[in-house]
Structure 1
């Protein structure tokens, strides 16, 4: 349990550091590539320090995760805490276990590809919000300034406050809505400085209110939130499947009878399902399903199903001959709750 708590702490730290690095990395890259962007005093060195610090912290957290796993592995070099010795038959005739081990490696590569997808989603969100900021900054620097009059004010209980302003470009009167981002209280009849784009007079702002494109900002924020939520799960999934594939490659598979218990605590705090394993030599172990799209599904509640177990510690896999949704072998990620119980009598 102590090992689990420490490992979880290092994992959270590593993921947060990587998200900070990605957020500032995309933003800084966009700013450097934007010709009109001007860094404020100390902004670029500050961002460089954040990037260096977050990258170093992510690397340190990764090294601590690997060290924790190596220490745990060193205590049981023969994997006997989780798996019995391989017997003569092991049930290989039912499925090609070597092919299923190779399939785990392909699954790990696909999971790594999902990390790139969520990274692109997150980067797109940063780019979208930065683009809205840059467009407003460009208008402030190059737009035409005229006097305008506030004709209405909207302060909804929910939603974004705004006001409408009337102004003139050469020969034409315009009325545009400006989103209020500051705490300034506008009243009907107030005179404000309106900055508009000569090529698009309806594209306006004031010196105080950037009036960013709300569609672009909303889309960017949506991508940011999706990436921020999805990326940690993708990173955890990719690292988990990679570790499980390597672990099963080392340990091989052991045939067993398994029972998936969907709610082992019967309402006393909902947890992921348990997998209760009985090996052929009579020993047993209790595993916990990992958070994954490869969950037990309809397999939950079925007793004494034939399956194969591979890996060690947190990096274990239950391989069923048939999956819950389609024919063919089905790999389900699990982790050991404790060590193997060898006190049971052998199965005859």
Structure 2
């Protein structure tokens, strides 16, 4: 059995529009974060009219690509679903049979579970966005504190004692002022040298809190935490959004196709780097003698924990890249376990026991 040419053509078109939409979102987020971080880290960002015009063009083009790609993907999703359903989703699933039913399992509840998983993944987006916003807010507060110290602190003449410019780490210098010595982080880019005169700004309420008129000397630990929160939130939000969208599509696909009983082998993919081993391959055998090869999708519901599963009873639903494999018992605790998957090949005569080795 082969995939219909119209469906294959639609899948290729979807891949192109998906790449366009992803590039638009990635470009918009990257430049937005870069501008925000640059404005917080650099004392005088110095954007001129040309820079602002270029940024507006970049943001407009990126947003346009994201919106256009998203709209086209929505249209193509309906067309692909309609085309795939014309033959009863036979490229991925056999015809429904009485053997698909099991009185011990509420298949409607399991399909609803997919929708709840999509909802939880969507809720996680808010957590990642909050983490990103917290990092951005923390960096802004550090900048405001440095500006306030510059405006209200006592100014004391000082002299540079030594300058440190490590290959790894933050450039700094030691400054002597008013009988004290303090380490001050350098971020202005000024090439200091020992013996150079500087003006030290001291917080009257906390003499250990100092800066110079040129160097903000922000707390590096707090600054690092803020940067880490910003980057982790930036990376986590798209991943959560992709997971939510994937589970939502799988829930719709399974609701349209229903579940088909099968026997499944979960086979790890060999890799030179075990810690970076890709998700396992799922070899599915249907009762009618056909089978299909699925690729487990990276997820917190992933198939790596099932790597020793062979000849396991399972039910398969969905179609194409939006498939799911339902195991009545999970790997670590009793209860159902659903693995998101995508088809690597169309359904065909099953010879997996000989070919998968």
Residue 297 of structure 2 corresponds to residue 287 of structure 1: no
In structure 1, what is the equivalent of residue 4 of structure 2? none
Alignment root-mean-square deviation, CA: 3.4
- Equivalent of 2:184, from 173, 178, 190? 178
Residue 257 of structure 2 corresponds to residue 251 of structure 1: yes
CA distance in 1, matches of 2:295, 2:151: 59
Per-residue deviation, 1:296:
1.9
Cα distance change, pair 223–166 in 1 and its aligned pair in 2 (3 A) = same
CA distance in 2, matches of 1:134, 1:44: 24
Per-residue deviation, 1:92:
2.3
Residue 310 of structure 2 corresponds to residue 303 of structure 1: yes
Residue 205 of structure 2 corresponds to residue 195 of structure 1: no
SS in 1 for 2:124: helix
In structure 2, what is the equivalent of residue 332 of structure 1? 339
Cα distance change, pair 202–215 in 1 and its aligned pair in 2 (3 A) = same
Per-residue deviation, 1:218:
0.7
CA distance in 2, matches of 1:137, 1:218: 19
Q: C-alpha deviations, 1:89-112, integer Å up to 9, x for none?
A: 413223111111111111111111
CA distance in 2, matches of 1:139, 1:298: 54
Q: TM-score, normalised by structure 2?
A: 0.80
- Equivalent of 1:66, from 55, 64, 74? 74
SS in 1 for 2:105: coil
Per-residue deviation, 1:50:
6.3
SS in 1 for 2:310: coil
Per-residue deviation, 1:242:
1.1
Cα distance change, pair 131–253 in 1 and its aligned pair in 2 (3 A) = same
Q: TM-score, normalised by structure 1?
A: 0.82
Per-residue deviation, 1:76:
1.7
Cα distance change, pair 71–266 in 1 and its aligned pair in 2 (3 A) = farther
The structure where helix makes up a greater share of residues is 2
Residue 124 of structure 2 corresponds to residue 117 of structure 1: no
- Equivalent of 1:274, from 257, 277, 281? 281
151-160 vs 222-231, which moves further: 151-160
Q: C-alpha deviations, 1:289-327, integer Å up to 9, x for none?
A: 001111224422432211101111111100001000110
Cα distance change, pair 60–212 in 1 and its aligned pair in 2 (3 A) = farther
Aligned pairs, how many?
333
CA distance in 2, matches of 1:149, 1:297: 60
Conserved in 2, the CA contact under 8 Å of 1:13 and 1:61? no
Residue 245 of structure 2 corresponds to residue 235 of structure 1: no
For structure 1, the residue ranges without an aligned partner over 5 or more in a row are: 32-36
Conserved in 2, the CA contact under 8 Å of 1:10 and 1:64? no
SS in 2 for 1:227: helix
- Equivalent of 1:220, from 197, 201, 226? 226
Conserved in 2, the CA contact under 8 Å of 1:255 and 1:306? yes
State how 1:74-89 maps to structure 2 within 5 Å.
74-77=82-85, 78-89=88-99
In structure 1, what is the equivalent of residue 217 of structure 2? 211
For structure 2, the residue ranges without an aligned partner over 5 or more in a row are: 1-10, 352-357
Q: C-alpha deviations, 1:19-45, integer Å up to 9, x for none?
A: 3487379889x99xxxxx999776988
Cα distance change, pair 146–296 in 1 and its aligned pair in 2 (3 A) = same
- Equivalent of 1:154, from 149, 164, 171? 164
